[in-house]
Amino acid sequence: MRFAKTLDGLVREAAQARSVDELRQTEALASAVYFAAWKDRVRIRWVRRDEGRVPEHWRAFAGRGSPLANGPRMAGDAINGLLNLASALLEIETVLALRTVGLDPGIAFGLHADQRARSSAADDVMEPARPAAEELVLGLIADRVFPRRALRL
């Protein structure tokens, strides 16, 4: 409940943002709160014979990030890997949709800053669909018991 109240306040704050930078800061805070709600609550179930061979940090969501890189890229655990896969697939579909209607996926609309070799427009456009992609990941985790070999451990 505390996460929901905090997120509700951040949504109101985002609606009042006076600049894109202020909006970006509020969005970053909301993302941190959102994924904090996942922490230790989202767990992967492993088949019984593999439980002892799966590293502890692969059992529960510890946060959106990577010990291998600054940020969530290069996932260091299964849940972040699934989130990255869902995000990459969503980005690919968004790039294709933008190109289909004649737009350059690299030129941002505002939320994401333009960066070389990044589909900033796609990143902007896909934001409203990101919760659906994350819901698919949560559903996959909730509905399955994974064998160790499925994630190449």
Q: Of 72-76, 78-82, 87-91, give the range with the top mean pLDDT.
A: 87-91
Report the amino acid identity of residue 4.
A
Say whether pLDDT at 118 is over 80: no
What average pLDDT score do residues 106-120 get?
74
- Rounded Cα distance between 37 and 57, Å, is 17
Would you list the domain boundaries of the chain? 1-38, 46-151
Contacts of 90 (CB under 8 A, 6+ apart): 126, 129, 130, 133
> How sure is the predictor about 66, in pLDDT bands with cuts at 50, 70 and 90?
confident
Give the per-residue pLDDT at 85: 93
pTM of the model: 0.83
Say whether pLDDT at 35 is over 70: yes
